[in-house]
Amino acid sequence: MLEIVCRSTGLGFAAVAQVTDETWLACQVRDDAGFGLQADTVLRADAMPCWEVRRHRRPVVIDDAGPDTEMLGLSSSGSLGFRSYMSFPITMPDGEIFGTLCAIGREPAALDRPEITGLFQQFSELIGHLLDAQRQPPVPRPRLEEAEFASWERNEPLRALIEHLPVGAGLFGSDGQALVANAILQPLLSQGRVPGADPDAAPHWTGYAGDGTVLDPRDHPFARALRGDRVPRTRFHHRGDDGTGRWTRISGVPLRGTTDNARTRNGKEPAVLLFVEEEREAEETRRASDERFRRFAEHSTNVLWLADLESRRLTYLNHALRRVWGVAPERLPSLESWLETIHSDDRDSVERTLERVWDGEAVVQEYRILRPSDGAVRRIRETVFPIAREDGRVRQLGGIAEDVAGHTGARIYLVDEDAAARRALLGLLQRAGYEVQVFAKAAALAEVASALQPGCVILDIETAGPESLTVAKALRAGRLALPVLVIGRSQGDVGFGVRAMKAGAVDYLEKPCEPAVLLTAVSTALAELRTDTERSHAHDDAKLRIAALSPREREVLEGLLAGGTNKSIGRALGLSPRTVEIHRARVMEALGARTLPEAVLTAARAGVQPTESQ
């Protein structure tokens, strides 16, 4: 009950206290805020506003006591360090004031709300009736078992409490049948039965111990509460008839004692009060994580995909598919349609890899695809991994596919129609340590250019003719990582080299050229290629890091780019300097920057602009 008070109010401390004219005695305490008060703690009666509650027999609700609490007569609130306070009187049925149900917090809180005051009112009334039941002697009165259990249902304070609680709540007999269940809990029950009572019936409930193992039904909160244990917040997964799931926490409280209005079966088989709370914090965390993943996936240069094994449908494909496969995600709705794009020589190997992943193994594989859009061959490196559900069975696959045709290397593509000249250049380049691929015709290179790894193209136009310069022009237009080095004889035409450069060549060498000159030109072209690739990777990495920022973190970054301080940024965004400092630290961590200049450089690479108002 005190846990529900803390969660509902947002305060870190709640207690049931017995209050007299002289003392405040803590009977039950929940202290998550570190006030240092425990059960059996005794304070002077005037040390807490509960004294005012007892004296005037009415609640006290303080949203913010402010830094100066003397005006409120709260002599010890300063030493305890609380700013918000709420206390309701616990009145016994005969009108005697037992004490109070109270809660305190270190920060201001919005407590004066009907849903909060109503909860305190119900709880304080219930506590009064329970205390009265404990001090009354048993009144033996033989009844039928059914009537005895029905008496729990006629306990009006208990019924009202259950119906008005902001979480799922219900009272269950020892047979597992609901005697009372509020509107939040009812949709989660199967024929009014306690959660988990029928493992094979829908909706399905699976309980988990702290170490993640599945709980035996004998250790469920209901079963343990029947044995007299108080069971706090056991984790359960609930799966409805439609297959949707949610995580919850179930608490069990045994109800004992005998009164005229509420009695157990001869006091031996108590009823059980269950509280079922949805894991809101976990759900909010999951939604935030999903949002970060979505932003990451939208800006990723790699293809990210998810597939359902039962339906064999591709349930998720990001937009990078358009760049790598050349088609929209809608064009590949299933695993079969995806497998059809894989080169026939590699398809069997990929299918065997998928079978290994189904068995729970994560695998890295490489294969070629024939792009559906243009038939071009692309080489793919892909990590495929299993995704297991809560029962441990693999139900989904995930994959991260990278176009490795975009990796730099020291590969040379030699185009020369003269066999003797081709052999001489091939030997020179191989002795220099380069991997060389030879083409006898420029057209042959053009046909497979889109599938080639990055490297330098050496184009001898002496035998191929000036018309082969169209290949250089096409490679540049296609933005392929294939810089072209043209060699040939100008025959005294001083404009020949200029035309080669305008066609897209990075350099022109007049034949015959010295081997050292040729190797220097090749090395320079490859160095520029590596620089361009590194710059492109840095740009992509910066975009991914920026995309992972929350909207508020992005605003703080833009303020920093404009030269703002924590104070000026906070003023512009309506935040405290301390909050800006926290966001700033998260920004630096997300960008992988140790200093502000590093963060500015990363943001500039991603094209982030400073806030105009700064």
CATH number for position 323: 3.30.450.20
In a domain, 294, yes or no: no
36: domain CATH number is 3.30.450.40
Residue 81 CA to residue 66 CA, distance in Å, equals 11
521 and 559 within one domain: no
Contact 575, 553 (CB under 8 A): no
Beta strands at 377-388 and 394-403: parallel, antiparallel or unpaired: antiparallel
116 and 161 within one domain: no
DSSP string, 427-456: HHHHHTT-EEEEESSHHHHHHHGGGSPSEE
Question: Which backbone phi and psi does 342 adopt, to 5 degrees?
Answer: -80, 140
Segments forming the whole domain that contains residue 505: 411-532
- What DSSP state is assigned to residue 332? -
pTM > 0.75: yes or no: no
In a domain, 509, yes or no: yes
Residue 63 CA to residue 497 CA, distance in Å, equals 82
480: domain CATH number is 3.40.50.2300
116 and 50 within one domain: yes
Of 67, 99, 134, the one marking the end of a domain is 134
- The total of structural domains in the chain comes to 5
Scanning 359-441, the segments in alpha helix (DSSP H) are: 419-431
pLDDT recorded at residue 70: 39
165 and 122 within one domain: no
pLDDT recorded at residue 561: 86
In a domain, 168, yes or no: yes
Which H/E stretch holds residue 364? strand 363-370
pLDDT recorded at residue 417: 85
17 and 129 within one domain: yes
In a domain, 366, yes or no: yes
pLDDT recorded at residue 450: 74
6 and 118 within one domain: yes
Contact 8, 86 (CB under 8 A): no
Of 403, 436, 457, the one marking the end of a domain is 403
583 and 491 within one domain: no
In a domain, 144, yes or no: no
pLDDT recorded at residue 36: 83
Peptide bond preceding 217 in cis form (omega within 30 of 0):
no
pLDDT recorded at residue 263: 39
In a domain, 538, yes or no: no
223 and 311 within one domain: no
In a domain, 234, yes or no: yes
In a domain, 612, yes or no: no
Tokens at residue 179, please? 């005697």
590 and 525 within one domain: no
494 and 468 within one domain: yes
Residue 518 CA to residue 429 CA, distance in Å, equals 9
- What is the C-alpha end-to-end distance of the chain, expressed in Å? 49
367 and 322 within one domain: yes
pLDDT recorded at residue 603: 83
Beta strands at 23-31 and 13-19: parallel, antiparallel or unpaired: antiparallel
Residue 2 CA to residue 205 CA, distance in Å, equals 26
337 and 381 within one domain: yes
Residue 317 CA to residue 333 CA, distance in Å, equals 9
Of 134, 167, 192, the one marking the end of a domain is 134
Low-confidence ranges of the chain (pLDDT < 70): 67-80, 133-158, 160-161, 164, 198-203, 241-245, 256-270, 279-299, 389-392, 405-410, 464, 466, 533-538, 540, 611-614
Helix axes 515-547 and 577-591, enclosed angle (nearest 10):
140
Order of all β-strands in the sheet with 84-91 = 42-44, 23-31, 13-19, 97-105, 84-91, 60-62
3-state secondary structure at position 34: coil
